[in-house]
Amino acid sequence: MQTDLQDKVVVITGASTGFGRGIATKLAAEGACIVVGDLRENASPAGFDEEPDLTTSQLIAKRGGKAFYRKCDVTKRGEVKALLDAAVDRFGRLDVMINNAGVYRGGKLLHEFDEADLDVCFDVNVRGTFLGSQEAIKIFLRQGDGGNIINLVSTAGLQGHPKQSVYNISKGAQANLTRCLAIEYGHEGIRVNGICPTYAKTALTRAYADDKDFDKMFVESVPLKRWGEVVDIADLAVFLASDRSSYIHGALIRIDGGETLCRYSV
């Protein structure tokens, strides 16, 4: 099917598994050319991925799409720049940058976290998004015809939660970075938006999904009475990447089944 995403070049960090993999395969199905950036090429064995024996680029190729993988540590500028340069070298340009790579630390009160927990959340969630956005914007400005940045934030970037303060403050910084980028670069035709999921089934949440008590508590707290799925987030990312969302800018879109509306009980 021909869409406005046909032959658009999309770089996605953390795309070997989870949200990134789901977004990559959905965009490839719309005709986009995908560049997978991640520390490891294989899908996480702890995840819920389709055909986990195949890498993301192999899965896309199997379905008739275009994709390749390049190893990338998003905390290192040189590797981020090399990832984006590889996209331009292979496909001729860059159209969409999706800063998806992220880490989670939780399960402790503030005074129980150590600096290593804080450092890894800020290094990956904040520095990774900062570097990915910076290097993408440089390319967009050189190309001179705009661009599109999508950041995978979280409802944790919009409100507080118990026992995950280091994660929440990193996601709060990522949310404000999204707003700042939108203000600074909208006039250049560069759109910037954030996706804010609640708990969805990925390798990052496997322990919670397998915990019957947590599962029951979480489902009861959500008006739609279910977990998020990777496809929910992927469908929104496709919409934001396309011209169908051309007047959505600087938004932090909750995709949470209504979870952040209230603590649900009826």
Which residues participate in catalysis according to the annotation? 167
CA quadruple 6, 9, 11, 12: dihedral, nearest 10: 0
Backbone angles phi, psi at 37, to 5 degrees: -110, 130
> 11 pairs with which residues across the strands?
35, 97
| Cβ-based neighbours of 149, under 8 Å, separated by 6 or more | 96, 97, 98, 99, 133, 136, 137, 181, 190, 191, 192, 193
Write out the two tokens for 5.
Answer: 């995403």
CB 35 within 8 A of CB 8: no
Strands 252-255 and 96-99: unpaired
